[in-house]
Amino acid sequence: MALKAAPRGQVPPFIVMDVMRAAAEAEARGHDIMHMEVGQPATPAPSGVIAAAKAALDADRIGYSLAFGEPALQARLARHYADWYGVAVDPGRIAVTTGSSSAFTLGFLAAFEAGDRVALAAPGYPAYRNILSALGVQVVSVPVGPDTNYQPTPAVLDRVAGSLDGLIVASPSNPTGTMIHKAAFADLMAYARDRGLRVVSDEIYHGITYEERAETALAFDDQTMVINSFSKYFSMTGWRLGWMVVPEDLMRSVECLAQNFFISAPTLSQLAAIAAFDCQDELNANVARYAANRALLLDGLPRIGFDRLSHADGAFYIYADVSALTNDSPAFCRRMLDEARVAATPGIDFDPDRGNRFLRFSFARSTEDMAEALRRLGAWLG
């Protein structure tokens, strides 16, 4: 008799990880690949973080932390909200997590029941959709485009059939890099509050912006669930450390779920991360490099045929409409990798319905790599 597999595990893949594997296989065969597929900074963690980790290894036993994290890190994160946004956050509401990925799992489990309807923009980060689906939550995809800067608005949400229980927002967003600007954010949060929608705000790319600072949803509603990470601005992807600001009514639920699912976030990473906030010069130098890469691509991509691009207010992504070149973005990206030796992610990862004519370029690596990628793509499209 065949053994049964639970249907909840039958979610779509996170396609960027498949592209990463294909690029790694090409490199193993001796090919030089320009990586524009993954949102991973090319720089290591700040030097102060590395020094703090070494000191912790010498001085600390590196045992379990509390389920919500090391109190010193919670306090430093609360100070971060005061310094950056002028927002007061109780340190006890900050849950330190094993990357933002576990924060999404904990947050979605605590906030939504199976059968609830949660809206999210398409294109959007695929893990939102796939985690919610695995939990039995109904994903309500909200198509957005250049007319709303690829962000949801009250008018767009009004076109959704049926009632909603939640809304996920991301500013800056993945894959488009677009932002919800202050007045629009206030309107959107008021709309959600009036309708009783639980808002989850993904603020993972805060700190990486080019024309204005990103707003935290907490400035508009203190009981929003906010999720962030040390991976992007702080350049600490492999340290697997994130955090969430938990609404008061969900604190015990999130704590019990964290205890049972993850016990605690990595203690060494927590002890080291406290130093990250004192490394502004290094971190701002990284953002300056992203800004140079962005400028290079926004100028160079249209010259070689990619002329319909998201504005990329922040993060390190450009979302490109390639419908003039292909109606099959996965095949197009495979050819790009095989023939031009440039890896990018097909849009179907972010928008299953329309992503066949889009792809995402990441510009998180060196400016020299971005220039070489442009050269290769120009020669390939010829």
Residue 98, domain CATH: 3.40.640.10
Structural domain boundaries enclosing 336: 12-44+280-381
Cα–Cα distance, 22 to 28 (Å, whole number): 10
The C-alpha R_g of the chain, in whole angstroms, comes to 21
116 shares its domain with 251: yes
67 shares its domain with 38: no
Q: According to the model, what pLDDT value does residue 10 have?
A: 83
129 shares its domain with 248: yes
Does 68 score more than 90 pLDDT? yes
Last residue of a domain, one of 224, 254, 278: 278
Q: Which of 40, 126, 20, 46 is nearest to 363 (CA)?
A: 40
178 shares its domain with 39: no
CB within 8 A of 224, min separation 6: which ones? 189, 199, 200, 201, 217, 218, 245, 247
Mean pLDDT across 155-184: 96
Last residue of a domain, one of 253, 278, 303: 278
246 shares its domain with 323: no
Strand 117-122 versus strand 166-170 pairing type = parallel
271 shares its domain with 295: no
Cα–Cα distance, 37 to 204 (Å, whole number): 18
In a domain, 7, yes or no: no
Q: Which of 212, 153, 156 is nearest to 185 (CA)?
A: 153
224 shares its domain with 92: yes
Cα–Cα distance, 62 to 112 (Å, whole number): 34
Mean pLDDT across 244-252: 98
For residue 142 the two structure tokens come to 């909200």
pLDDT in tens, 284-322: 999 999 999 999 999 999 999 999 999 999 999 999 999
In a domain, 3, yes or no: no
Cα–Cα distance, 265 to 69 (Å, whole number): 7
Number of domains comprising the chain: 2
Per DSSP, the residues of 239-256 read G--EEEE--GGGHHHHHH
Last residue of a domain, one of 261, 278, 295: 278
In a domain, 2, yes or no: no
173 shares its domain with 256: yes
pTM above 0.85, yes or no: yes
312 shares its domain with 257: no
pLDDT classification of 2: cutoffs 50, 70, 90: confident
Place of tokens 């957005």: 144
In a domain, 313, yes or no: yes
